[in-house]
Amino acid sequence: MVYYYLYTVNAHNILKRFAAIFQKGAFFMCEKPKFYITTAIAYTSRKPHIGNSYEIVLTDAIARFKRMQGYDVFFLTGTDEHGQKIEEYAKAAGVSPKEYVDKVASEIKGICDLLNTTYDKFIRTTDDYHEKAVQKIFKKLYEQGDIYKSEYEGLYCTPCESFWTESQLVDGKCPDCGREVKKAKEEAYFLRLSKYQKQLEEFIESNENFIYPEARKKEMLNNFIKPGLQDLCVSRTSFKWGIPVTFDDNHVIYVWIDALSNYITALGYDPDGSGDLYKKYWPADVHIIGKDIVRFHTIYWPIMLMALGEPLPKQVYGHPWLLVGEDKMSKSKGNVIYADDLTEIFGVDAVRYYLLSEMPHANDGSITHESMIERYNSDLANTLGNLVNRTIAMQNKYFGGVAASPDCPGEFDESLKAAAAAAADGFEKNIAQYKMSDAVESVMTFARRCNKYIDETMPWALAKDESRKGRLGTVLYNLLESIRILSVLIAPLMPETSLKITGFLGIEPSGWDSVKTFGVLAPGTRVGEATPLFSRIDGEKLLSQLHEKAEKEKSAESAEIEGVAQIGIEDFMKVELKVAEIKDCEPVKRANKLLKLTLDDGSGKDRIVASGIAKWYSPDDLKGKKVIVVSNLKPAVLCKVESNGMILAADVSDDDCKVIFVDGSIPNGAKIR
């Protein structure tokens, strides 16, 4: 304790002593509060679409806002790079798994950077430090009896990398993705979820905001936890692309212990002694994840941490999905939209704004080019952009760009100031609850109120009367100050636009607390020349261009994958279908989708067909099988392979394709009638 003898020390000395104490760090209450926020790590199966990108933008907006509030923020994102699916994709592409994930991880990181996200660390689960920490975690849990060896027999979904019981299937398919499951039996290690069931249930029920929103919490408790937890398979022997179990060479560590541990390994967690970063930031304040993986983050992850004796994260927010119209994005449906394509058309900030404004708090959001054009024109070009440009223009026109003192208050001023206060309050409250679209709406409501204020006060009319110049100066000051407040409010949402606005105003960016006071802008400030923030888009013209581009891409993809010369229905009867045996099969270099098939169609000569099935089949799956080939197609050269025909296959789901095999007793060359 520090004692001050005020009767012997004058005021100057008191200040000197306080300064010395601050320098020594005695006032710990002045240290910034910590805030650790994470996204789910993206799976490196393919380039992320705009629905995947929503999460990183949402998390970035929250992180930016917390920094503005004075928090010491650590923002983590990254990639999940192991598993059977990656191994299969790499094999089909003719590259090693590491080469495959290096390419996709680079694309994912590139999208994060393109969208101007301010992550503090990008973790890859192939990073050496992560793999070593995961091996130690696995061994620790095994040695203390929380992991045990047994045998698994069940139904396995490869895309989800999940095992299911018969009763958990929906219409005989995976309950998460709706795809086919396969029977699987293999030796495996298991995590004793059942041991911690009661402890987890009590934790969730006593921490009401741990699973958020409330509907997700009820789903986890009622559908998964209370009916009884089954022990979790945490190793595999049927593939090799994973982190090896150090004490059992036949096993690799299965996805969830590997992937979920990233939230602590990124901070330097080590069962033998963790680093300062872990001690500083853990537990996480919030994991931002998609609603489809809430179960893994609120059941498996907490139990892993309980078993390790580590604190649980404070909150898990399961956000909804971003749909295209009313459908999930799917390559097979042809409705996938990518962030880089959108930013090329609309700009980065406009894409960020749309994602954050269009996604409801608990229900799925929707994206279409039509709705994006409409929101871009109405909110960004008309409401915000027009407000900023005409205000700066009037300030330059009537006052030579110099802000006057607001000495002549009048009607509508208090209403404008109240709207500014309501916007700041609404933004802060909504973003604290991750109600981002509501937070965005509070900003746009204020921007619309500012435009109404212009209509109410009519600065152009005031400018005609010299005796009212003081009132004109006050009106324009109020508008400039409102724009300053808007620049602060939109900073987490549209950071570059925020900086442009402060540049127009001739000021440095303001801190968050400045929005709570109306009148921060100093009179005498000289504004610059404004350029349009967002130029209106000709929607009809753009949609026409997008439709034309999509048709060209669809046609090109059809040619690349199938190698067909299109025919009309009237020519259908001319199609010649034959039975052919696949004698040989190999990947096509520089073509991830294609396999080169050598067929025996009974003609005495080999028939070469390039087929876009590499995603679903490896060469070993196909050799010796008999298929149906369209044998009278015009040849097409695909990636330097002359393809003479097309084999028949069926789309069985959004992301699955099955080749149509025929009975091996049917002779090669037999015609299908």
For 234-291, write each residue's pLDDT tens digit.
999 989 999 999 999 999 998 899 999 999 999 999 999 888 999 999 999 999 999 9
Q: Is the dihedral of CA 431, 436, 441, 447 positive or negative?
A: positive
What are the pLDDT digits (tens) for 621-669?
898 899 999 988 878 777 768 888 889 988 766 567 889 999 888 999 8
Among the listed ranges 76-80, 109-113, 185-189, 352-356, which one has the minimum average pLDDT value? 185-189
Q: How far apart are CA 481 and CA 501, in angstroms?
A: 11
Do the beta carbons of residue 415 and residue 422 sit within 8 Å? no
Whole-angstrom Cα distance, residue 331 to residue 159?
A: 14
Taking the model in full, what pTM does it have?
0.78
Tokens of 115: 């969208």
Q: Which helix (H) or strand (E) holds 54?
A: helix 50-68
Tokens of 478: 């109020």
Residue 345 near residue 58 (C-beta atoms within 8 A): no
**Strand pairing of 147-157 and 162-164?**
antiparallel
* Predicted pLDDT of residue 654: 56
Cα 316 to Cα 216: distance, rounded to the nearest angstrom = 10
Residue 595 to residue 610: CA distance in whole angstroms: 6
Residue linked to tokens 């880089």: 340
- Helix, strand, coil distribution of the chain in percent, nearest 5: 45, 20, 35
Q: Return d(Cα 276, Cα 202) in angstroms, integer.
A: 30
Crossing angle (nearest 10°) for helices 413-432 and 50-68: 110
Q: Are 269 and 304 in contact (CB under 8 A)?
A: no
Question: 163 pLDDT exceeds 80?
Answer: no
- Taking the C-alpha atoms of residue 157 and residue 255, their distance in angstroms, rounded to an integer, is 13
| Closest to 516 (Cα-Cα) out of 537, 485, 480 | 485
pLDDT at position 143: 98
pLDDT-derived band at 214 (thresholds 50, 70, 90) equals very high
Coil, strand, or helix at residue 307? helix
530: exposed, middle or buried (Cβ count in 10 Å: 0-12, 13-18, 19+) = buried
Tell me the C-alpha distance between 196 and 303, whole Å.
6
Helices (H), 400-518: 413-432, 436-457, 459-462, 469-489, 495-505
At 30, the pLDDT band (50, 70, 90 cuts) reads low
How many of the other CB atoms lie within 10 Å of CB of 626?
21
Quickly list H helices, 237-384. 255-260, 262-265, 276-281, 294-295, 301-308, 339-346, 348-358, 369-375
Q: Is 572 helix (H, G, I), strand (E, B) or coil?
A: helix
Nearest to 193 by CA among 141, 261, 126, 271: 141
Q: Is the peptide bond before 213 cis (omega within 30 degrees of 0)?
A: yes
- Selection from 325, 480, 296 nearest residue 398 by Cα: 480
Q: What is the mean pLDDT of residues 604-617?
A: 87
pLDDT at 189: 96
- pLDDT tens for 398-456 read 999 999 999 999 999 999 999 999 999 999 999 999 999 999 999 999 999 999 999 99
